[in-house]
Amino acid sequence: MFEKEIDITRNIKIIEWLKSELLTDIANLFKALVNGMKEEVHDTVADTLSNIILICYLLGRRLGISYNLIEIKIHNKIKLGLIEENDVEKHYGDLSELSKHLDSSRNKIKNF
């Protein structure tokens, strides 16, 4: 019983740490974007965005949500945005591009 309590406590601490990391990275992203998207901050923004995505996956896992379910939800949101002609899709085609990218990434992984 004591070991289970320690595990629950450890999980809560990790969840709280992930939440604070997420907020820190979001703040860092906003700071990087204050002066506009310049060439020299592309790497910083890419690094920060990848941290945010990674933290979201890990946070979901700690909350009992599988990586697969998260990806299914992302895929469903992309499909819904395409069907509803989301503004980002209508004006820029970003959802179509993202869908193609994710499909090609999955195919590369399967063939690897």
Same domain, 59 and 71: no
Q: Which of 26, 45, 65 is the last residue of a domain?
A: 65
Choosing from 49, 65, 81, the residue where a domain stops is 65
Helical spans, DSSP H, in 34-86: 42-62, 67-83
Residues 59 and 22 occupy one common structural domain = yes
Closest CA to 18 of 83, 65, 82: 65
Is the pLDDT confidence value at 4 over 80?
no
Per-residue CA distances from 93 to 57, 69, 77 (Å): 25, 25, 15
* Percent of residues, the chain, with pLDDT higher than 70: 96
Are 73 and 60 members of one domain? no
- List, for residues 11-21, the tens digit of each pLDDT value: 999 999 999 99
